[in-house]
């Protein structure tokens, strides 16, 4: 680092406690110490990470408290796949580990060149859907608006990103939601009306459409 006197001085990682040490030399790489995490649930998603050295344990803790190991990632492996804007799983370093941060374009090219990676991307999207659905369907633990918001987001995430949810807003759709969430149809109707009145969702052609994804995310995570 260039000091005020014009001379270069050494800066240690300890002097950069609030920063990623690897960012001081290369913003496309990160170092994760043994036992530390690369990402955890709720952390904003980067496109993906390629392991350069070391090893990661990638696992998910389900809403009921159970957990599954998704994979062990070694040099050359890509982790952090998914379609949601935030992670639902955890990647923890089993030893001191270095990863390269991939851009969206780099990840897209890698998926196009590797059928196995494309299949893993699809599996990650399925896992995210299962996580959001299970979180929404746990009765008695969270208020219905939170559970319904999470369920709508899960269905929308499995369908596409333009807001359509594949959820009917008519009597048949409300009845199906009531069965899925284990509540009365009246409660579902009131909650849909509440979310609609807050301009978080709308009804178009008899289907529920997300109008404010950030707002609905906030309700689901409240």
Tell whether the model's pLDDT for residue 2 goes beyond 50: no
**Buried b / exposed e along 167-193 (16+ C-beta atoms within 10 A):** bbbeeebbeebbebbebeeebbeebbe
84-95 average pLDDT score: 90
User: In the chain, what's the furthest Cα-to-Cα distance?
Assistant: 75
Lowest mean pLDDT among 23-32, 75-84, 110-119: 23-32
Contacts of 111-120 with CB under 8 Å at 24 or more apart are: 117/78, 120/78, 120/81
The span from the CA of 197 to the CA of 176, in Å, is 22
| Intrachain domains 17-130 and 137-220 with the same fold | no
Tell whether the model's pLDDT for residue 136 goes beyond 50: yes
- Would you place residue 15 in the very low, low, confident or very high pLDDT band (cuts 50, 70, 90)? very low
**Residue 32 pLDDT:** 93
- Does this model's pTM top 0.85? My answer is no
Strand 29-32, strand 97-102: pairing: antiparallel
Map residue 129 onto helix, strand or coil. helix
Task: Determine the distance from the C-alpha atom of residue 180 to the mean position of all C-alpha atoms in its chain, rounded to a whole number.
Answer: 23
**Residue 165 pLDDT:** 67
Strand 29-32, strand 37-39: pairing: unpaired
- Conformational region of residue 143, where left means phi above 0, alpha means psi within -120 to 50, and beta covers everything else: beta
**Residue 162 pLDDT:** 54
* Torsional sign, CA 63, 221, 117, 31: negative
The span from the CA of 7 to the CA of 209, in Å, is 60
Tell whether the model's pLDDT for residue 50 goes beyond 90: yes
Tens of pLDDT, residues 169-194 = 888 888 888 888 888 888 889 999 99
Tell whether the model's pLDDT for residue 160 goes beyond 70: no
For the domain spanning 17-130, the CATH number is 2.60.120.10
Q: Two tokens at 27? A: 């913003």
**Residue 13 pLDDT:** 35
Tens of pLDDT, residues 197-219 = 999 998 888 888 888 888 888 88
Please tell me the number of Cα atoms within 13 Å of 77 on its side-chain side: 16
**Residue 220 pLDDT:** 84
**Residue 53 pLDDT:** 95
Which residue matches tokens 């409240």? 222
Neighbouring residues of 7: CB distance < 8 A, sequence distance ≥ 6? none
Looking at domain 137-220, which of 1.10.3720.10, 1.10.10.10, 1.10.3210.10, 2.40.50.40 is its CATH number? 1.10.10.10
Sorted by where each begins, the domain ranges of the chain are: 17-130, 137-220
Beta bridge partners of 31: 98
Q: Two tokens at 139? A: 């009765």
Q: Two tokens at 146? A: 């939170």
**Residue 164 pLDDT:** 61
More confident call, 128 vs 15: 128
Map residue 217 onto helix, strand or coil. helix
Q: Two tokens at 154? A: 């899960």
**Residue 23 pLDDT:** 38
């Amino acid at each position: 680092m260039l000091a005020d006197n014009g001379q270069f001085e050494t800066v240690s990682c300890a002097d950069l406690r609030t920063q990623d040490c690897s960012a001081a030399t290369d913003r496309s790489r990160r170092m994760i110490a043994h036992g530390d995490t690369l990402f955890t649930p709720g952390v904003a998603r980067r496109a993906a990470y390629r392991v350069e050295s070391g090893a990661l344990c990638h696992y998910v803790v389900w809403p009921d408290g159970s957990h599954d190991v998704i994979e062990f990632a070694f040099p050359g492996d890509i982790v952090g796949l998914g379609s949601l804007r935030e992670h639902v799983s955890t990647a923890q370093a089993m030893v001191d580990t270095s990863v390269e941060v991939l851009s969206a374009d780099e990840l897209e090219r890698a998926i196009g060149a590797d059928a196995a990676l494309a299949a893993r991307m699809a599996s990650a999207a399925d896992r995210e859907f299962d996580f959001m659905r299970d979180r929404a369907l746990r009765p008695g633990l969270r208020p219905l608006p939170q559970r319904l918001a999470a369920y709508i987001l899960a269905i929308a995430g499995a369908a596409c990103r333009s807001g359509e949810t594949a959820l009917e807003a008519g009597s048949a759709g409300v009845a199906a939601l009531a069965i899925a969430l284990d509540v009365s149809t009246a409660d579902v109707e009131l909650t849909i009306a509440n979310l609609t009145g807050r301009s978080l969702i709308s009804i178009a052609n008899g289907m529920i459409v997300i109008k404010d994804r950030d707002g609905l995310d906030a309700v689901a995570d409240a």
